Amino acid sequence: MKYYVELIIINKDSVRDPEGETIQKYVIEKYTNNIIETRVGKYIQFKIEANNEEDAKNLIEKIANEGRLYNPIIHKILVRVRRE
């Protein structure tokens, strides 16, 4: 079956995010004071053929780690799966 797997790579909460801070200060705060924080990350979408959601997710986690798609020292990742 075909799945879409989303890999979101974002700085850990304890790591500063200068791009997010810049958007927050120079764009967001021109419009509203209701946005408390802005954080920027990278989004990678994979279209994948797998037997089930679990396999799809595991393959992406393996490649993200071994293929160094993110740096675990500074980033955290979110992996989400949905059927095509």
Residues lying near a second copy in the complex (CB under 8 A) are found at 2, 8-10, 20, 23, 27-28, 30-32, 34-50, 59, 62-63, 66-69
Interatomic CA distance for residues 66 and 26, integer angstroms: 37
Specify the residue for token string 């798609």: 69
Our CB check for a second copy shows the closer of 37 and 73 to be 37
CB of 82 to a second copy, least distance (A): 12
Query: CB-based contacts of 12: which residues, under 8 Å, 6+ apart?
Result: 74, 75, 76
10 C-beta neighbours (distance < 10 Å), count: 19
Rank residues 18 and 67 by Cβ distance to a second copy and give the closer one: 67
Nearer to a second copy, 28 or 73 (CB): 28
